[in-house]
Amino acid sequence: MTIVGVDDGRAAVEEAVEAASVPLTAVGADVRHKILCGVPTVELLRHLEQNNPDLVVLGTRGLTGLPRLRRGSTAGVLAHATQSSVLLASDQAADEKTGLGVGNGE
């Protein structure tokens, strides 16, 4: 499997990709890393079109309201634009802070 991150200058992408691979390699998965540079939605769509994966797993930040309208939802765009199956995963700790997420009936 390949973990793909997009460096848009806002986050420590290499560290995040490495951290995401730790639990997968711990259970024996063969994990490769790929770092793209640019606008996340554009670069990820290009990557998906070129590689046509069976499954895409995307993390979400749980943005709502004005922040989501201003910044959009990369996960939402990708989920609608790709022909691959998509699994959206949220950060449980962030969900507990905001009161949003899968576990609270929303």
**Structure-model confidence comparison of residues 54 and 66, the more confident one:** 54
| Average confidence score pLDDT of the chain | 80
Confidence category of residue 88, pLDDT binned at 50, 70, 90: confident
2-104 has CATH 3.60.20.10 classification:
no
pLDDT at 102 over 50: no
**Percent of the chain's residues with pLDDT above 70:** 74
Pairing mode, if any, of strands 2-7 and 32-37? Answer: parallel
* pTM for the structure as a whole: 0.72
Provide the pLDDT for residue 6.
Answer: 92
Q: For the chain, what is the total number of helices (H) and then of strands (E)?
A: 5, 4
Sorted by where each begins, the domain ranges of the chain are: 2-104
Span 83-97, average pLDDT: 71
- In angstroms, rounded to a whole number, what is the distance separating the alpha carbons of residues 96 and 104? 9
Number of Cβ atoms within 10 Å of the Cβ of 6 = 21
